[in-house]
Structure 1
Amino acid sequence: MAEKKHFAPSAVGGALQDSIQYRGRKASRAKSEHRRRRILEAALDIAAREGVRGIKHRPVARAAGVPLASTTYYFRDIEELIRDAFMLFAEKANEDLEDFYGHLNALIDVALAQGKLHSDAGRSDIAGNLADYIAGYFGEQLRNYQSTILTEQVFLAEAMREPSLEGLAREYRRAWLNGVEQMLVRLGTANPRRDAALLISVVSGMGYDGLLFRDKFSPQFFRETLERVLSLLLDVRSAVESDYRELESSGTLE
């Protein structure tokens, strides 16, 4: 496998950043901007607890600690408030994306410098190191930032019903997909785009398990599953042969 071009992390979320366009009244002073942001943060907190149906002017004003008139001053109607709240969510998520893929690319930089792509053992190490970081990152999200994950799901579900959010939701998902694809291009997998979709599906599905089963969710199982998928994508011989043996013993290959 030949070494691939390094993609700067800033390429990951560029389109997403361009899609973030607030529609509410702009704040001209720092104090006013702080108040506007508190309103949007309060709306996101309510979305995580109650879904979009819980976002109403009075509960949002109460949660933000501002006069009720402030919500109607900054936002023309509740739809504009909801839309701008998810714009804020996407803006913060974009910053997280840059950091997440920056760390992954740093791990890949080290692996490429050490020539690890050129041996089965080296690719196995890469799979393990990436699995460690990804599992650790999402494990921390599940432990300490469950409201963020819930808000993400509310946002994506609402985008299926609300055309004004659809474009932003698409760019949000595309930013995740592009980042993983660029990482896998550097690692020389057989079909980086499809491989990226597979890896994201695995992580997303196990993230749902983490929310649903909480106390019974096993971070170690999560990490081992990630390592196995990454090993298969990187054509680590031991993982491929293990799958073949399982198919053979089950009679699938007969």
Structure 2
Amino acid sequence: MTAAVSQSKTDNIEFQGRKAQRADSRERRRAILEATLRIVVRDGIRGVRHRAIAKEANVPLAATTYYFKDINELVCDAFNLHAQDSIKHTEELEESGFAALEKLKGANLADPQIFDLLVNALTNAIMTHIRSQVESRDRRVIEHTFKTEALRNPVLAKTACIPQASTTGSIVSFFKLLGSKEPEADAHIVHGVILYMEYQLLLGQEMMAIEMAHKSIRRMISQLLALSVKK
């Protein structure tokens, strides 16, 4: 199920630039996009220029204009590439959540001990995901840079919604299996809190130490699960 979900989401991503047919051409095109992402991390969107990209990717200047008619198209496709890769990362969170539920399949979640086991398992799975996200600092810088740019660019805004919807959709599926009466609302709460925790930890805020993040996630999961198993 996971692979099918991810595949359908990535299919929604529409690359703007000239398509590459040959393998070497595809490699050069990807090198240009990856160079663009590195520049975004280092210098922000304003640093994205054809000459800077060509130098970073070690390709002729003409290559950047061959595949992309302008900087806007290049920036959009760089974000598309980032979004495509990000969707694949949502599988880990989805799989860990379903694995925790599978271990307790058929168990009485109203039993305090069973309930506590599930809360701990889900809390640990989410915290593992958050740590992984925070450790991938460059990817988070890219993500937040493009989210800001998407507020001014409707093409980017469309793509920005795809990986977010993929993650939320995975969480919705989990809550549906759990029997939640409001799986969509529960999923938005969980995803929103995860994104907030990630951002605060990236900023290095003392108020959001990893211990506080763990405590907050556990409290959220405990309360949402209590609503789901309540008869």
Asked whether the two chains share a fold, i.e. TM above 0.5, the reply is yes
Q: Of the candidates 79, 88, 106, which is equivalent to residue 86 of structure 1?
A: 79
Residue identity matched to 2:175: L
Tell me if structure 2 keeps the 8 A contact 1:117–1:187. no
- TM-score computed with the length of structure 1 as normaliser: 0.82
Tell me if structure 1 keeps the 8 A contact 2:17–2:67. yes
Segments of 5+ residues of structure 2 without an aligned counterpart are: none
The one of the two structures with greater contact order (alpha-carbon pairs below 8 A, sep at least 6) is 1
Q: Which residue of 2 aligns with 1:132?
A: 124
SS of residue matched to 1:117: coil
- Shift in Å at residue 86 of structure 1? 0.8
What is the distance in 1 between the residues matched to 2:81 and 2:217?
30
- Shift in Å at residue 218 of structure 1? 2.5
Q: Number of paired residues? A: 228
- Shift in Å at residue 112 of structure 1? 1.7
Deviates more, 1:76-85 or 1:156-165: 156-165
Residue identity matched to 1:89: H
- Shift in Å at residue 209 of structure 1? 0.8
What is the distance in 2 between the residues matched to 1:51 and 1:22?
21
SS of residue matched to 1:234: helix
Going from structure 1 to structure 2, the CA distance change for 1:181 and 1:35 (only over 3 Å counts) comes to: same
Q: How does 1:139-178 map to 2 (within 5 A)?
A: 139-143=131-135, 145-178=136-169
Q: How does 1:25-40 map to 2 (within 5 A)?
A: 25-40=18-33
Q: Which residue of 2 aligns with 1:251?
A: none
Q: Which residue of 2 aligns with 1:23?
A: 16
What is the distance in 1 between the residues matched to 2:23 and 2:61?
20
- Shift in Å at residue 215 of structure 1? 7.6
Tell me if structure 2 keeps the 8 A contact 1:20–1:91. yes
Q: Which residue of 2 aligns with 1:242?
A: none
- TM-score computed with the length of structure 2 as normaliser: 0.90
What is the distance in 2 between the residues matched to 1:11 and 1:128?
28
Q: Which residue of 2 aligns with 1:249?
A: none
Q: Deviations over 1:76-126 (max 9, x none)?
A: 11111011111101110111112331232122211225x152422212211
Tell me if structure 1 keeps the 8 A contact 2:168–2:188. yes
Tell me if structure 1 keeps the 8 A contact 2:16–2:77. yes
SS of residue matched to 1:112: coil
When Rg is computed on C-alpha atoms for both structures, the one with the higher figure is 1
Segments of 5+ residues of structure 1 without an aligned counterpart are: 1-7, 237-254
Residue identity matched to 1:127: V
SS of residue matched to 2:204: helix
Q: Percent identity over the alignment?
A: 33
Residue identity matched to 1:177: T
Q: Which residue of 2 aligns with 1:117?
A: 109
What is the distance in 2 between the residues matched to 1:44 and 1:98?
23
What is the distance in 2 between the residues matched to 1:215 and 1:60?
37
Residue identity matched to 2:150: A
SS of residue matched to 1:22: coil
Aligned-pair RMSD on alpha carbons?
2.1
Q: Deviations over 1:10-61 (max 9, x none)?
A: 4544553122111212222212211111110111122223322221111111
Q: Which residue of 2 aligns with 1:98?
A: 91
Residue identity matched to 1:207: E
Tell me if structure 1 keeps the 8 A contact 2:197–2:208. no
Tell me if structure 2 keeps the 8 A contact 1:188–1:234. no
